[in-house]
Structure 1
Amino acid sequence: MDWDDAYANAAHISGAESYPPRWEADASAFRAQAHGRLGLAYGTGARERFDLFLPASEAAGLVVFIHGGYWMKFDHSYWSHLATGPLARGWAVAMPSYDLCPDLRISGITAQIARAIEAAANEVTGPIAVTGHSAGGHLSARMLERGLLSDDAAARLRKVVPISPLSDLRPLMRTSMNDTLHIDAAEAQQESPVFMTDRLNVPVTVWVGGDERPAFLDQANWLGEAWGCDVHIKPGRHHFDVIDALADKQSRLVDALVV
């Protein structure tokens, strides 16, 4: 099996090269008119920052969106426009960046995201919902490990929606990406959500596009099977456009997150 091809999204999406500049432009335009605070620190590192977008009235709660990029690419600035849907429903939205591999291992990124959620939770009262895409889907699922979040943040966590998550890291050890990720057997066991048994009792909905690579459909279904949670397969959506629904306040994806 060609493991690199199995996890190569862009090679199988028409016009894939147009998506990152489009995301960046849409996010920039959104920030220019949004109400919130940018570049809030959750640590001392240059990438340990998050943007916090606020609704017009008191927030009903906090949504945290964790970006993807195989833990190797992007930062929070590409995704600001995806706050549109939860904001329109009255929820604040935090979007953190994190250090990238190989500068930090995946386990270190997991710890960073936990700190980011705790810092954002100090800014907004009420329930917390966590979502993320691809590698961010992995990180969102990891937040359910008991003891990872502070007691306060864990008590407020009401919903987790991993989008196209990487739930079993072992296949990635067979890809050339592992030259950068440096996943070994111990980290794959520790960091794969499918192996998490001591989890917070929080509702989970796994979301994935029907037109995604078979490997990503497998990853979503593996998590659903391991956790006994719902898996929603969105027809006609691939890995790059499955997240678009976050910008639509009436979408089922936003419903799953904030209702």
Structure 2
Amino acid sequence: MDLDDAYANMPYIPGGAEFPDKWAADADAFRKSQALTGRARLGLMYGHGTREVLDLFMPEGTPKGLVVFVHGGYWMKFDRSYWSHFAAGVQAQGWAVAMPSYDLCPRVRISDITRQIANAVTVAAREIDGPVRLSGHSAGGHLVARMCAPGVLPDDIAARLAKIQPISPVSDLRPLMQLTMNSDLRVDEAEAQTESPIFQPKPTAPVTVWVGGDERPVFLDQARWLAEAWTCGHQVVTGKHHFDVIDALANPDSDMTRDLLG
């Protein structure tokens, strides 16, 4: 198997190259609408670096709790500004939503990003009372799964975790060592072991792993491996691929949104 091809999503998605521009436009429109209503707190620092920043979208009234959404991009692309509109579903159900950026490889390693997201979750959770629910897509699915490992989050924040929702996650990093992109990721045996969620203890918080039914076989495998390792929920969404499986988060009545908040 050509693993570089196996882990390539865009060439196998119709109009795949158009998705980032669409995400950015939809996210910008959402942020502007939120700013007009005074429900967007943009550019909150959770660390000292220029990318250690999050946006917080508030619901009407007192939040029921906090949802943190972590974006993907193979730990090498994008920032929070592409994904804001995916806060709409849970925000409409009364939840605050935090969306962090983070440093990208090769400037940092995946283990560094894990620590940054832990800081982002911690800072956001100390802004918003109540339960904390985590959702993340692709590399972001890996990162929210890592938040469940013992000692990654402070004890008081870990105790508030009420749901983990990895979407199309990379749960076993060992295959990445064989990819050309590993020249930037720099995953080695030690990091693959410590950063692969499949090697973590099963979380105490409920978990549902989601993946699109039309995704590349390796992503179907990665989702299944995590669901099997953690004996947790596993949803395969018929007709959805790697780029549109997350669309449901923008809908307050979707199965994905209900699962995240259930």
Which category of TM-score, normalised to the shorter sequence, fits these structures? Answer: over 0.9
Displacement after TM superposition at 1:152 (Å): 1.5
Aligned residue in 1 for 2:12: 12
Contact in 1 for aligned 2:212/2:242 (Cα 8 Å) = yes
Aligned residue in 1 for 2:182: 178
Alpha-carbon separation, structure 2, partners of 1:170 and 1:148: 21
Q: Deviations over 1:54-87 (max 9, x none)?
A: 0011100100000000000000000000000000
Aligned residue in 1 for 2:92: 88
Q: Deviations over 1:79-132 (max 9, x none)?
A: 000000000100000000000001110001000000000000011100000010
- From 225, 235, 246, the equivalent of 1:243 is 246
Structure 1 stretch displaced more, 33-42 or 64-73: 33-42
SS in 1 for 2:159: helix
Ranges in structure 2 where 5+ consecutive residues have no aligned partner = none
Aligned residue in 1 for 2:256: 253
Alpha-carbon separation, structure 2, partners of 1:227 and 1:145: 12
Q: Deviations over 1:176-222 (max 9, x none)?
A: 1101000000000000000112x541100000000000000000000
Alpha-carbon separation, structure 1, partners of 2:9 and 2:204: 32
Aligned residue in 2 for 1:211: 214
Pairing 1:105-254 to 2, within 5 Å after superposition: 105-197=109-201, 199-254=202-257
SS in 1 for 2:43: strand
Pairing 1:25-40 to 2, within 5 Å after superposition: 25-34=25-34, 35-40=39-44
Aligned residue in 2 for 1:75: 79
TM-score, normalised relative to structure 1: 0.99
Alpha-carbon separation, structure 2, partners of 1:22 and 1:70: 19
Aligned residue in 2 for 1:21: 21
Letter of the 1:10 partner, please give it: M
Alpha-carbon separation, structure 2, partners of 1:251 and 1:208: 15
SS in 2 for 1:122: helix
Alpha-carbon separation, structure 2, partners of 1:257 and 1:102: 32
Alpha-carbon separation, structure 2, partners of 1:224 and 1:200: 12
- Misfit runs of 4+, over 6 Å: none
Q: Deviations over 1:4-49 (max 9, x none)?
A: 0100000100100110000000000000011120000000000000
Alpha-carbon separation, structure 1, partners of 2:142 and 2:149: 12
Contact in 1 for aligned 2:203/2:230 (Cα 8 Å) = no
Letter of the 1:228 partner, please give it: T
Alignment RMSD: 0.6
Alpha-carbon separation, structure 2, partners of 1:218 and 1:155: 30
Alpha-carbon separation, structure 1, partners of 2:73 and 2:203: 26
Identity %: 62
- From 48, 66, 69, the equivalent of 2:70 is 66
Aligned residue in 1 for 2:107: 103
Ranges in structure 1 where 5+ consecutive residues have no aligned partner = none
* Number of residue pairs aligned between Structure 1 and Structure 2: 258
Alpha-carbon separation, structure 2, partners of 1:6 and 1:105: 22
Alpha-carbon separation, structure 2, partners of 1:183 and 1:132: 20
Contact in 1 for aligned 2:141/2:167 (Cα 8 Å) = yes
